[in-house]
Amino acid sequence: MSFTAKDTQLYRQDERSGHRKLDVVQREELVKNYLPQTPLRLRGNSRIRKQDSSRFGIRKFLKAQLYALLYLLTHAIFSLYIRIRIAYHAVSSRFVTILKHHYNSPEYIARDVATLRRLPKHLSVILTLENGGRGDALGKLVNEVAEVTAWCAAAGIPTISVYEKTGILKRYMPQTHGNVANRLTAWFGKDQAPQLSLFARGAPTIESRPGLSLVLISEEDGREAMVDLTRVLTEMVQKNKISASDITMDVIDNELSEAVMKEPDLLISFEPYVDLQGYPPWAIRLTEIFCAPDNQGVGYQVFLRALRKYAGATFKLGK
């Protein structure tokens, strides 16, 4: 819409006077009739935006409360599930402990494993030095070694290896050997107790007549064995005693087995979850690993469940 002649003349007179003839309100009224009208759609949207903005704080608050409620509900359900699971495992473990208690008798253990179609020839367990070695933690650890060794001897397992991360048992080899030997004598009798041989890398071997073999390993065995083997093989290659092509995986495997121990058939962790604690990885490539959820402490029921699990396992090694 174009300006009328009257409005045009009035505007030009005001402009020539330096905008002193018309005040601000009069100038606005002058051009107001010539401005385009706001579309109805935009006016409706502006009203919606005003309504949304007026309710935005309430909606945000309600969303936050809803999310908090869902979060607390999820945690409550999960916590209830965990508590029920722990209670179930504790009751079932206590029931099995009472039902299958060995009473320090090899005959009871032999009866428990008699129906198993397969037993490991080499069993390994992971034990933990509690409380950082303070108090009677070492004595408790040695007693656990003796207890597990007696179970293996009664079950007819000829070799057992005990992994303890710090390697403290290697500093008490005579005491450990004496404690385990006394436990075997108390279980089997003086004349029928199996002869115990105790081995550990870097420590003097306490060897008896062929019987039960106990191997002590720690975290440093895996690392140091690999370092020593690498150094020896490198020196032999440099001195032209062997060629680099002669170093194969079979050679490395055999050397590591001789340096520390052979690969166990079954590994038992008495923790409530699988925690290898730095166990040498090359020694458990084909090992069956067992742990009992929510378990606390070294118990015969876990040992027996592990043997049953191993007996029913299917091994597919491939080629």
Neighbours of 109 (CB within 10 A): 25
User: Do 68 and 199 belong together in one domain?
Assistant: no
Are 125 and 148 spatial neighbours (Cβ–Cβ below 8 Å)? yes
Kindly report which listed range (126-135, 208-217, 259-268, 284-293) carries the lowest average pLDDT score.
126-135
d(CA 310, CA 305): 9
The pLDDT of residue 173 is: 93
Establish if 31 belongs to a structural domain.
no
The pLDDT of residue 59 is: 82
User: Do 145 and 279 belong together in one domain?
Assistant: yes
User: Do 60 and 180 belong together in one domain?
Assistant: no
- In sequence order, the 6+-apart residues with CB closer than 8 A to the CB of 207 are 197, 198, 199
Amino acid identity at 265: D
Q: Label residue 189 left, alpha or beta by phi (over 0 means left) and psi (-120 to 50 means alpha).
A: left
b or e along 74-84 (b: 16 or more beta carbons within 10 Å of the residue's beta carbon)? Answer: eeeeeeeeeee
User: Do 157 and 56 belong together in one domain?
Assistant: no
Give me the chain's average pLDDT, please.
Answer: 84
Helix (H) or strand (E) holding 117: none
| CATH of residue 135 | 3.40.1180.10
User: Do 155 and 266 belong together in one domain?
Assistant: yes
The residue assigned the tokens 């050397």 is 255
- HSE on the CB side for 139, CA within 13 Å? 3
Structural domain of 5:
1-26
Are 104 and 247 spatial neighbours (Cβ–Cβ below 8 Å)? no
Establish if 51 belongs to a structural domain.
yes
User: Do 62 and 12 belong together in one domain?
Assistant: no
Per-residue pLDDT averaged across 119-140, rounded?
88
User: Do 291 and 261 belong together in one domain?
Assistant: yes
pLDDT of 54 > 50? The answer is no
Report the number of distinct structural domains present in the chain. Answer: 3
User: Do 110 and 57 belong together in one domain?
Assistant: no
Amino acid identity at 227: V
d(CA 158, CA 152): 7
User: Do 86 and 165 belong together in one domain?
Assistant: no
> What percentage of the chain exceeds 70 in pLDDT?
89
pLDDT per residue over 177-204, tens digit each? 999 999 999 999 988 999 999 999 878 8
User: Do 2 and 80 belong together in one domain?
Assistant: no
The pTM of the whole model exceeds 0.75: no
Establish if 149 belongs to a structural domain.
yes
User: Do 80 and 135 belong together in one domain?
Assistant: no
With cut-offs at 50, 70 and 90, classify the pLDDT of residue 56.
low
User: Do 189 and 82 belong together in one domain?
Assistant: no
Neighbours of 20 (CB within 10 A): 8
pLDDT per residue over 277-314, tens digit each? 888 877 787 899 999 888 888 999 999 999 999 998 88
Residue 305, both tokens = 């469940």
